[in-house]
């Protein structure tokens, strides 16, 4: 396992979407007890993946207008997932296996049913009156309707302001009207949030993922955003100068991180919302990572991956530690994104293996999304049948992908229910369940799951892969992505053939003067064997060697 002092830097984090991981009570919704029952898949057993931490998407009580990202109680556990005692058992079981626990913290907004908002909307003079962002209407439109305070748009479509009859003012919501934005300029709000953080730290939590953290502060004067001509009427129709990335954020993040740092070995990772790699790098700090998502939208191309790495490395530099992520609960699963429409599933799985080798050998902290270790694809669910509020509100002005498709149940075994539930699953099981499940892939040494296990073992055993510097390697074929990782004692060479044809490559000079030896390959080569030119990579082969 990674060293305790900087596990956030050297380890691997596995994201669990709790309602879709494993159901223990037959209600069709995954729960905390279901996660505990499957922890040996993740760590602590001889055939585990060997991850260092799990990140749980929100488990708090919520009316589920945005599936847990509308929090009604920041220190409780939603009964659908279990009890606080269940959570404590989960933490204990994880820690017994050497696995850290990261919670999702949704601090830009709460649920409209949170007691704070219920109190805030009752009047303008109470103790909670200024806990959210309220404004009077500045007047009437030519059609005698109330003008909104400015032109800001909601990410899910429509205006970012909703009129509240009880209070007689508009309130701000960057997302759904059921997700009112907290007023981070109010010291009482920040104090309450710090209390939430301390509560979970006292319960043994090892870190937090900060949802859309760069939207915490808005322009004090609420100036309207510039408009992008011809861009329609959705979120993308504006340049978001005044509703995110405000200068006051830096100080507030430092306050929040200081609370986390009261407990040694704890960390945060922030979700940069609608931002660039350069913006992400500016918010990073020791023990506090930032998602920049530069890799999420790339086409299947070695050149595209190489250019994304080059740009990100230029933004982060050698001192700032990045994150690596290819899939999450908001994006199409990458195994499906990389499928070749003209080929069978085996080609897609071979590409998924290349992606796995890339993710787990790049400089930075890898984040895996549940199911990617078996190359799970997205479900096919039309917007008309969606639970996802983003998809239900999709329009020509604000088109949206249905996120339900990336949140389907985990298939643990073959059979009607896939080992996920003995009830009716909240979302359908994948159509390829019979051959794409954990139990079947665990028995197959050539499966995607077996490769993930091998890759995680190789990474655990290599200081160069965990901590080393990184440099591109020119191997003479544009379809091969190649790079070196170095630490003081050893270097690792990685070559990934993105093409469905063989590729002849040149080897870089070994740093220590000796030959390159094979560490791992997806083709039929033996670990420990010497590599000597000419090296012919097989189609879609991933090769890792050490000197």
Residue of 262, 432, 489, 529 with catalytic role: 262
> Cα dihedral sign for 294, 295, 299, 302?
positive
Whether the CB-CB separation of 19 and 60 falls below 8 Å is answered with: no
Q: Which residues contact 484 (CB under 8 A, 6 or more apart)?
A: 470, 471, 473, 491, 492, 493, 494, 508, 511
Q: Which residues contact 269 (CB under 8 A, 6 or more apart)?
A: 8, 13, 55, 102, 207, 208, 209, 210, 288, 289, 290, 291, 323, 365, 367
Residue 509 corresponds to which tokens in the numbers above? 């000079």
Contact (Cβ atoms closer than 8 angstroms) between residue 337 and residue 296: no
**How far from the centroid of its chain's Cα atoms is residue 102's Cα?**
12
Is 385 a known active-site residue? no
CA dihedral 262, 71, 125, 248 (to 10 degrees): 50
Give Cα 410 to chain centroid, integer Å: 17
SS3 172: strand
CA 532 to centroid of chain Cα atoms: 39
Could you list the beta-strand ranges (E) of 260-320.
Answer: 267-271, 288-291
Q: Give the integer Cα–Cα distance in Å for 164 and 391.
A: 25
Active site annotation includes 165? no
Q: Which of 70, 104, 211, 339 is catalytic?
A: 211
Looking at 302-399, which runs of residues are DSSP E strands?
323-325, 365-369
Positions annotated as catalytic residues are 211, 262
């Amino acid at each position: 396992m990674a060293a305790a002092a900087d596990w956030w830097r050297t380890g691997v984090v596995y994201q669990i979407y709790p309602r879709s991981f494993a159901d223990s009570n037959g209600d069709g919704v995954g729960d905390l007890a279901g996660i505990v029952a499957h922890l040996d898949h993740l760590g602590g057993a001889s055939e585990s993946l060997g991850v260092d931490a799990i990140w749980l998407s929100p488990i708090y009580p919520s009316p589920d207008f945005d599936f847990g990202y509308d929090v009604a109680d920041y220190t409780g556990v939603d009964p659908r997932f279990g009890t606080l005692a269940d959570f404590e058992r989960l933490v204990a079981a994880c820690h017994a296996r050497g696995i850290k626990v990261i919670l999702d913290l949704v601090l830009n907004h709460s649920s409209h049913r949170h007691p704070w908002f219920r109190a805030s909307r009752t009047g303008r003079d109470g103790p909670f009156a200024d806990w959210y962002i309220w404004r009077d209407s500045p007047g009437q439109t030519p059609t005698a309707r109330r003008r909104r305070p400015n032109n800001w748009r909601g990410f899910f479509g429509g205006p970012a302001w909703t009129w509240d009859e009880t209070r007689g003012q508009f309130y701000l919501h960057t997302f759904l009207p059921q997700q009112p934005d907290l007023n981070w300029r109010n010291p009482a709000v920040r104090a309450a949030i710090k209390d939430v953080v301390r509560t979970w730290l006292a319960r043994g939590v090892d870190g937090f993922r900060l949802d859309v953290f760069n939207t915490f502060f808005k322009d004090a004067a609420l100036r309207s955003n510039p408009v992008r001509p011809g861009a329609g009427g959705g979120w993308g129709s504006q340049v978001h100068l005044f509703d995110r990335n405000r200068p006051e954020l830096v100080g507030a993040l430092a306050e929040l991180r200081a609370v986390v740092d009261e407990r040694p070995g704890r960390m945060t990772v922030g979700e940069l919302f609608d931002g660039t790699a350069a913006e992400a790098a500016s918010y990073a700090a020791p023990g506090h990572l930032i998602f920049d998502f530069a890799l999420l939208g790339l086409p299947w191309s070695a050149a595209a991956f190489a250019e994304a790495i080059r740009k990100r490395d230029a933004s982060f530099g050698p001192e700032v530690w990045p994150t690596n992520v290819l899939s999450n609960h908001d994006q199409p699963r990458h195994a499906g994104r990389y499928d070749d429409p003209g080929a069978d599933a085996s080609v897609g799985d071979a590409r998924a293996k290349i992606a796995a080798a890339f993710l787990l050998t790049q400089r930075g902290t890898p984040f895996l999304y549940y199911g990617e270790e078996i190359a799970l694809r997205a479900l096919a669910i039309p917007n008309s049948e969606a639970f996802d509020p983003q998809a239900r509100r999709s329009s020509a002005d604000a088109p949206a992908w249905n996120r339900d498709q990336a949140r389907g149940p985990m298939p643990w075994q073959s059979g009607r229910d896939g080992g996920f539930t003995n009830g009716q699953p909240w979302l359908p099981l994948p159509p390829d369940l019979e051959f794409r499940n954990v139990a079947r892939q665990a028995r197959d040494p050539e499966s995607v799951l077996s490769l993930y296990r091998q890759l995680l073992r190789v990474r655990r055993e290599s200081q160069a892969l965990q901590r080393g510097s990184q440099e591109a390697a020119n191997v003479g074929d544009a379809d091969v992505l190649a790079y070196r990782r170095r630490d003081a004692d050893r270097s690792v060479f990685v070559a990934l053939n993105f093409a469905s044809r063989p590729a002849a490559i040149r080897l870089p000079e070994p740093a220590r003067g000796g030959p390159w030896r094979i560490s791992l390959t997806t083709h039929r080569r033996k670990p420990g064997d010497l590599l000597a030119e000419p090296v012919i990579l097989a189609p879609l082969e991933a090769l890792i060697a050490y000197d």
